[in-house]
Amino acid sequence: MFLGTHTPKLDDKGRLILPAKYRDELADGLVITRFQERCLAIWPISAFVEVTKTARSAPSSQQDVRDYQRMLASGASDEVPDKQGRITIPPHLRSYAGLDRDCVVVGAIERVEVWNAAAWEQYSAEKEPAFAELNQNVFPGG
């Protein structure tokens, strides 16, 4: 499970040092792709396979299914962290998420998200006030 918020910096080659607490789970390989709200999502390969099962079994005769499959897969990149726990974020994904030197890495339970630092700050500030209310909708009776 991925938890916490971290603020690593991208190096000049577009490499990101994964937080130490995430490295073991991602050591055998990962998939990084574009995600909602213009952030990037990182899944262990096995988790990505699970995530895509629904998309693979959905009827490709539906336009929204094809659109989702294309957007998810066309932006995906499989990576293996190096010995220092670094991964290279491809240029098209850095551009999509607006990543520069400063970024935020967020544990999102089954995945890791990588955000532009300013975009994360804005998103977090907007969503924080409604967090308690969201709990009632996401976990009724909880």
Domain boundaries, the chain: 5-138
pLDDT at 139 over 80: no
In 84-132, DSSP assigns E strands to: 86-88, 103-108, 111-116
What's the pLDDT tens digit per position in 47-76? 999 989 988 888 989 999 899 889 989 999
Residues 43 and 30: beta-carbon distance below 8 Å: yes
Pick the CATH number of 5-138 from 3.30.420.40, 3.40.1550.20, 3.40.605.10, 3.40.1280.10: 3.40.1550.20
